[in-house]
């Protein structure tokens, strides 16, 4: 198994570390900044004896090293600054991603591609169109991270372990995300049995604002611990063909009444990438909000050129 990560910034490098610890295969870390990926790969390689794990990781500024990758994770791009929305990154990051995806198309035509670059839903759509890959082979890491954030906030409110909470978030990764309280369970029991509608609405708002909150507090750059954990989980599920249901940004072709949009929904993931999109029974309000999130993405797609 060959796993390449394009972008050796905080998210890319920490994703490489987590994937290495899962021992999933050979890892190639790529970045256009000369020496950055190679230096971080050497540092990660030096941790093997301490960790008691053997893995193979290499870094380079040469894109040809992604050749014949089975999985390619794309984290390359500019990070958000305080006060900046993910959508404001669209113009700059779309140019970066287009070049990356043309290289993936040429060098790793059989790869499953996981997009992490923001604005994530729009970049996933762009990657799908530029590579020309089948819709199941290109997906975004978004709602899996959002679900983890929702679960953490619930755990803090209820003083319960986050690991006991099965949270579900759909919609666009950003201001258009939709935490699904009725689909969120604590040890199999619906969230509404634990929290009032008002408290759930408060936690939902906090989940939507979490990324911006972290960006504002950091002052420079954006979140990377939780995003890299979500990336590594997604890579592991695909590499090990676990057939597990995770939130992912997927291309919809009629599911949920939405066509020709990439947006966060629960998906069964395996070695083929997205093996099935899971259609949940949403309330009328949730359906309306999901459609609104999709239409917001559709408006922004007009700014993209392929």
Enumerate the active-site residues: 173
Q: Which H or E element spans position 27?
A: strand 26-30
Phi, psi of 201 (to 5 degrees): -65, -40
Closest to 65 in 3D by CA, of 5, 140, 130 = 5
Structure tokens that stand for 92 in this block? 């700059």
For residue 170, how many C-alpha atoms fall within 13 Å in the half-sphere facing its CB?
A: 28
DSSP count for the chain of H helices, then E strands: 9, 14
Q: Sign of the C-alpha dihedral, residues 11, 14, 20, 21?
A: negative
Return d(Cα 277, Cα 248) in angstroms, integer.
9
Characterize the bridge pairing of strands 2-6 and 26-30.
parallel
Structure tokens that stand for 118 in this block? 């923001």
CB 141 within 8 A of CB 118: no
Closest to 231 in 3D by CA, of 214, 246, 250, 211 = 246
Q: Say how many residues make up the chain.
A: 306
Count of beta carbons in the 10 Å neighbourhood of residue 108: 21
């Amino acid at each position: 198994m060959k796993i390449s990560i394009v972008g050796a910034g905080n998210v890319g490098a920490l994703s490489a570390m987590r994937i290495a610890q899962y021992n999933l295969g050979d890892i190639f870390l790529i970045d256009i900044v000369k020496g950055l990926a190679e230096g971080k790969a050497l540092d990660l390689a030096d941790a093997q004896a301490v960790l008691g794990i053997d893995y193979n990781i290499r870094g380079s500024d040469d894109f040809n090293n992604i050749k014949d990758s089975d999985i390619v994770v794309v984290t390359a791009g500019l990070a958000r600054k305080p006060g900046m929305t993910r959508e404001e990154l669209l113009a700059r990051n779309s140019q970066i991603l287009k070049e990356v995806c043309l290289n993936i198309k040429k060098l790793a035509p059989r790869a499953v591609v996981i997009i992490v670059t923001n604005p994530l839903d729009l970049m996933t759509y762009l990657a799908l169109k530029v590579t020309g890959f089948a819709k199941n082979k290109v997906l975004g890491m978004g709602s899996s991270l959002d679900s983890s954030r929702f679960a953490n906030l619930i755990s803090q409110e209820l003083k319960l372990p986050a690991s006991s909470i099965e949270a579900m978030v759909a919609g666009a990764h950003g201001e258009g995300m939709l935490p699904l309280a009725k689909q969120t369970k604590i040890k199999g029991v619906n969230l509404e049995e634990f929290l009032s509608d008002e408290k759930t609405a408060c936690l939902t708002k906090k989940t939507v604002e979490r990324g911006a909150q972290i960006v504002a507090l950091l002052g420079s750059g954006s979140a990377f611990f939780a995003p890299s954990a979500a990336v590594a989980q997604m890579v592991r599920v695909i590499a090990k063909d676990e057939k597990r249901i995770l939130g992912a940004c997927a291309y919809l072709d009629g599911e949920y009444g939405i066509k020709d949009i990439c947006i966060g929904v629960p998906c069964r993931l395996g070695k083929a990438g997205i093996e099935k999109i899971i259609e949940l029974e949403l309330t009328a309000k949730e359906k309306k909000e999901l459609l609104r999130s999709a239409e917001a993405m559709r408006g922004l797609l007009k700014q993209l050129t392929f």
